[in-house]
Structure 1
Amino acid sequence: MTEIILHLSAGQGPCECEWVVAELARVLCREGEAEGLDCEPVEPLSGTAPSVLLRVVGEGAERFAAARIGTIRWIGASPFRPLHKRRNWFVGVAPAPRADDIPDFREEDIRYQTLRASGPGGQHVNKTDSAVRATHLPTGIATLSQDQRSQFANKKIARLKLVMLFDEQRRAGDAGGKRALWGQNRDLERGNAVRSYEGAGFRLRRA
């Protein structure tokens, strides 16, 4: 069974782009389910999100992902600034990096710690030590996952997030890498979208 993790990102975009990221994650989940795929956010969604990890599982997951990787445009008025004239907002979709494809990332460099998951008052608080913090010892990068019920699932997510942060730091490790990343952000703003949605209902816009 094929599993792909997609990374939806607002890049350097404003809060509107972060809103689009969260809404787009919901839209892609509905599209995936319509194609017979299991599609869900790796962690719970909020109203806005600078980035979201989306898990896509099933036969046809690669085809589904390939049609959505790149820049996605949402056309509509800002939900936060009604008088803002801009109507085109761009977010990026990319496959999450895999540890096996990243130089110098080794499992033996990761320290896992379990702790009790916590949440705001009134919400269910896990009474077992199911939350997991993953720390990359050579760099000090650390991530936490506590939203899954099992320790195993939280460990997998914490590791996935750690791989992504390590890869981002590695790519931005020199001036050339930083220029490349800023270049990608500018390309994102200019568009060249692989898919476009419009309106509050995120209706797919046909070419």
Structure 2
Amino acid sequence: MLLMIWMQITANTGPAECCLAVYKTLRQVQHEAGKEGVSLSILEQVDGPVSGTLRSVLLCVESVADGAAARLFAERWCGSLLWICESPYRPGHKRKNWFLGCAVYLPLAPLPDSEIRYEATRASGPGGQHVNKTDSAIRATHIATGLSVKVQTERSQHANKRLAGQLLAGKLAELAKTEREQGKAERRRQHLQTERGNARRVFTGPGFKEKIP
């Protein structure tokens, strides 16, 4: 049974060092996914203030052979993460603890096709280990609001369309909650509320080596 989980790794409002930690965490997640037999794709990413850093990245984690593999894999990352290292950008800076967060959740059901305009485009840039060279990327635009997302992975156009619909549904749900002043969506709340001092996993040094308790 196929199970899909979404993971968001975020530096929140942290400095460039936290954004570098997001990039390093993404590489570690990709490395572990390859060994654990789960499929990992980048749905969305926001670049950090320095080249080679990421403010946040949204991942799709899937498993086919074992339906629980994606969930178990993602849960090992869920929560606050800590990178202990001297700043590579500010020599002599006293701070060495850089926090980031990882949220895990199930994607929402896609919106009805009648509410969305889909466009096939050429994939480019980040979007998985092997970006397609054909017009398989999908841009989904919510007709009523004009809100749009683009999804490009190594999957087929049909799969990208499904993911784009789910991603758009999540963004609209987040927007609706904000407008109603009933709080932001769960992913956005996690994006701004990384818990400090209680890290789920700890990494150290420029090589981003995990510190085993």
CA change 1:139–1:67 in 2 (3 A) is same
CA change 1:186–1:50 in 2 (3 A) is closer
Contact 1:25 1:54 (8 Å CA) reproduced: no
Contact 1:7 1:54 (8 Å CA) reproduced: yes
Unmatched tracts of structure 1, length 5 or more: none
The CA distance in 1 between the partners of 2:176 and 2:106, in whole Å, is 12
Quick one: which amino acid aligns to residue 158 of structure 2? F
Contact 2:42 2:59 (8 Å CA) reproduced: yes
Please provide the CA RMSD for this pair. Answer: 3.3
1:173 matches 2:182: no
The CA distance in 2 between the partners of 1:62 and 1:12, in whole Å, is 27
Alpha-carbon shift at residue 29 of structure 1 (Å): 1.9
Contact 1:44 1:147 (8 Å CA) reproduced: no
Unmatched tracts of structure 2, length 5 or more: 126-130
Contact 1:172 1:181 (8 Å CA) reproduced: no
Alpha-carbon shift at residue 24 of structure 1 (Å): 0.3
The CA distance in 2 between the partners of 1:54 and 1:22, in whole Å, is 13
The CA distance in 1 between the partners of 2:105 and 2:205, in whole Å, is 28
Partner-residue secondary structure (3-state), 1:201? coil
Cα deviation digits, residues 116-144 of structure 1 (max 9, x gap) = 4467xxxx994x53332111123221112
Contact 1:41 1:52 (8 Å CA) reproduced: no
CA change 1:82–1:189 in 2 (3 A) is farther
CA change 1:183–1:85 in 2 (3 A) is farther
Partner-residue secondary structure (3-state), 1:206? coil
Who is 1:40 aligned against? 40
Who is 2:160 aligned against? 154
The CA distance in 1 between the partners of 2:181 and 2:90, in whole Å, is 35
CA change 1:138–1:202 in 2 (3 A) is same
The CA distance in 2 between the partners of 1:167 and 1:148, in whole Å, is 27
The CA distance in 2 between the partners of 1:67 and 1:125, in whole Å, is 30
The CA distance in 2 between the partners of 1:136 and 1:182, in whole Å, is 20
Cα deviation digits, residues 89-129 of structure 1 (max 9, x gap) = 122211245223x9xx544322111234467xxxx994x53
The CA distance in 2 between the partners of 1:27 and 1:181, in whole Å, is 21
Who is 2:4 aligned against? 3
Q: TM-score, normalised by structure 2?
A: 0.74
The CA distance in 2 between the partners of 1:181 and 1:6, in whole Å, is 9
Who is 2:20 aligned against? 19
- Percent of aligned pairs with the same residue? 37
Q: TM-score, normalised by structure 1?
A: 0.75
User: Equivalent residues in 2 for 1:52-201 (5 A)?
Assistant: 52-58=57-63, 59=66, 60-100=69-109, 106-117=112-123, 126=133, 128-146=134-152, 148=154, 150-177=156-183, 187-188=193-194, 190-201=196-207
The CA distance in 2 between the partners of 1:165 and 1:136, in whole Å, is 10
Partner-residue secondary structure (3-state), 1:172? helix
CA change 1:138–1:32 in 2 (3 A) is same
Partner-residue secondary structure (3-state), 1:192? coil
Partner-residue secondary structure (3-state), 1:190? coil
